[in-house]
Structure 1
Amino acid sequence: MLTDGGAADVTGSPTEKAILSWGLKIGMDFNDVRSKSSVLHVFPFNSEKKRGGVAVQSDTGVHIHWKGAAELVLSSCKSWLSLDGSVQPMGAQKRNEYKKSIEDMAKSSLRCVAFAYCQCDIEKIPKEDIADWKLPEEDLTLLGIVGIKDPCRPGVRSAVQLCKNAGVKVRMVTGDNIETAKAIALECGILDANGVISEPFVIEGKAFREMSEIARGEIADKITVMGRSSPNDKLLLVQALKRKGHVVAVTGDGTNDAPALHEADIGLAMGMSGTEVAKESSDIIILDDDFTSVVKVVRWGRSVYANIQKFIQFQLTVNVAALVINVIAAVSSGDVPLNAVELLWVNLIMDTLGALALATEPPTDNLMKRQPVGRREPLVTNIMWRNLFVQAIYQIAILLIFNFSGKKILRLQNESPDNAEKMKNTFIFNTFVFCQIFNEFNARKPEERNVFKGVTKNHLFMGIVCVTTVFQILIVEFLGKFFKIVRLNWSLWLVSVAIGVVSWPLAYLGKFIPVPVRPLQAYFKPCWKSSRRDEEEGRQG
Structure 2
Amino acid sequence: MEVVDVCAGRVRTQNLAELSPLLISLITEGISLNTNGSVYHPEEGSEDSEPEVFGTATECAILNFGVKLGMNFDEGKSKSTIFRVSPFNSRRKRRGVAVQLHDSQVRVHWKGAAKTILASCQGYMDMDNIASMDQEKISHFENTIDDMCNEGLRCAALAYRTYPEGDINRNEAFTNIPDSNLVLLAIIGIKDSCRPGIGDAIQQCCNAGIRVCMVTGDDLLTAKAIAMECGILTATSDINTTILASEFSSMSDAEREEIAENILVMGRSSPDENLLLLKELRKKGHVVAATGKGIRDAPSLRQADISLAMGIGGTSIVKECSDIIVLDDSFASILTVIQWGRSLYTNIQRFVQFRLTVSASALIICVVVAVHSHEIPLNVAQLLWVNLLIDTFGALALASEPPIDNLMRRPPVRKGAPFITKLMWAKFVLQVAYQVTALLLLNFHGESILKLENKSLDHAYKVKNTLVFNSFVFCQVFNEFECRTHDQTNIFSGILKNHLFLGTIIITVILQVIVIECLGIFISTVRLDWKQWLISIGIGFFSQVAGRFPFQAFPYLRN
Considering the TM-score relative to the shorter chain, is it more than 0.5? yes
1:438: which partner in 2?
478
1:68 maps onto 2:68 in alignment:
no
SS at match of 2:106: strand
Partner of 2:320: 280
**Retained in 2: the 8 A contact 1:361–1:458?**
yes
What amino acid is the match of 1:426? Answer: T
Which residue number in structure 2 is paired with residue 533 of structure 1? none
Tell me the amino acid that sits aligned with residue 468 of structure 2.
I
Alignment match, 2:275: 235
Aligned ranges 1:213-224 → 2 under 5 Å = 213-224=253-264
Amino acid at match of 1:187: E
Q: Which runs of 4+ in 1 moved over 3 A?
A: 119-130, 504-510, 515-519
CA distance in 1, matches of 2:97, 2:454: 103
Q: Give the C-alpha shift of residue 276 in structure 1.
A: 0.7
Identity %: 49
Q: Which of 291, 295, 298 in structure 2 is aligned with 1:258?
A: 298
Q: RMSD in angstroms over aligned alpha carbons?
A: 1.9
What residue in structure 1 maps to residue 29 of structure 2? none
Q: Deviations over 1:233-292 (max 9, x none)?
A: 111111110111000011111101011011111101111111111111111111111111
Asked if structure 1 preserves the Cα contact closer than 8 Å seen for 2:85 and 2:175, the reply is no
Question: What secondary structure does 1:214 align onto?
Answer: helix
Whole-angstrom CA distance in 1 between matches of 2:494 and 2:445 = 40
Deviation at 1:134, TM superposition (A): 2.7
Is 1:182–1:225's contact at 8 Å kept on the other side of the alignment? yes
Which stretch shifts more, 436-445 or 174-183? 436-445
Match of 2:443 in 1: 403
Partner of 2:216: 174
Amino acid at match of 2:127: L
What letter corresponds to residue 413 of structure 1 in structure 2? E
Pair 1:416–1:123, CA change in 2 (3 A): farther
2:121 corresponds to: 77
1:473 matched to 2:525:
no
Matched with 1:29 is 72
* Paired residues for 1:316-395 under 5 Å: 316-395=356-435
For residues 472 and 121 of structure 1, do their structure 2 counterparts lie closer, same or farther at Cα, with a shift above 3 Å needed? farther
Tell me whether 154-163 or 1-10 shows the greater mean CA deviation: 1-10
The equivalent of 1:154 in structure 2 is 196
More off after superposition, 208-217 vs 244-253 = 208-217
Distance change >3 Å, CA 29–CA 518, structure 1 → 2: closer
- Residue 248 of structure 2 contacts residue 256 of structure 2 at CA under 8 Å; is this kept in 1? yes
**Contact persistence 2:80–2:100 (CA under 8 A):** yes
1-structure distance, mates of 2:508, 2:178? 78
| Preserved CA contact (<8 Å) 2:487 2:558 | no
SS at match of 1:502: helix
1:103-182, aligned counterparts within 5 Å? 103-120=146-163, 122-123=165-166, 132-182=174-224
Q: Which residue of 2 is the match for residue 195 of structure 1?
A: 237
Q: 1:98 aligns with which of 125, 130, 141?
A: 141
Superposed CA offset, 1:379-432 (max 9, x none): 111111222222222111110001111122122223333332222112111110
Shift of residue 338, structure 1, vs aligned partner: 1.3
Structure 1 CA distance for aligned equivalents of residues 171 and 375 of structure 2: 94
Q: Deviations over 1:111-163 (max 9, x none)?
A: 00001123355456665697x44322222221110001111111111111111
The answer to whether 1:295 aligns with 2:335 is yes
1:9 and 2:49 are equivalent in the alignment? no
- 1:354 offset after TM fit, Å? 1.1
Q: 1:83: how far off?
A: 0.5
Between the aligned partners of 1:138 and 1:433, the Cα distance in structure 2 is 84
Residues of 1 paired with 2:98 and 2:517: CA distance? 89
Work out the CA distance in 1 between the residues paired with 2:143 and 2:53. 31
Other structure's SS at 1:240 match = helix
Letter in 2 for 1:9: E
Quick one: structure 1 residues 483 and 140, their matched pair in 2 at CA, closer, same or farther if it must change by over 3 Å?
same
Residue of structure 2 equivalent to 1:522: none
Work out whether residues 259 and 281 of structure 1, in 8 Å CA contact, stay in contact via their aligned partners in 2.
no
Change (3 A) 1:378 1:273: same
Question: 3-state DSSP class of the match of 1:45?
Answer: coil
Q: Name the amino acid aligned to 1:420.
A: A
Give the partner amino acid of 1:47: S
Other structure's SS at 2:261 match:
coil
Deviations for 1:187-221, whole angstroms, at most 9, x for unmatched residues? 1111111222x3x3111111112223332211110
1:48 match: 91
**Equivalent pair of 1:382/1:516 in contact (CA under 8 Å):** no
Q: What is the aligned length?
A: 515
Q: What letter matches 2:121 in structure 1?
A: C
Distance 1:220 1:350, change over 3 A: farther
What residue number does 2:31 align with? Answer: none
C-alpha spacing 1:124/1:471, structure 2 compared with 1 (3 Å):
farther
1:121, 1:440 → 2: CA distance?
A: 84
225-234 or 86-95, larger mean C-alpha shift: 86-95
**Distance (Å, rounded) in 2 between the aligned partners of 1:359 and 1:124:** 73
CA contact (8 A) 1:174 1:226 kept: yes
Q: Does the 8 A contact of 1:41 with 1:54 survive in 2? A: yes
Structure 2: segments with no counterpart, 5+ residues: 1-39
* Structure 1 unpaired stretches of 5+: 520-541
> What residue is the counterpart of 2:81 in the other structure?
38
Greater shift in the superposed pair: 473-482 or 121-130: 121-130
The answer to whether the Cα contact below 8 Å between 1:383 and 1:515 also exists between their aligned partners in 2 is no
C-alpha distance in 1 between matches for 2:523 and 2:455: 20
Residue 491, structure 1, aligned to residue 534, structure 2? no
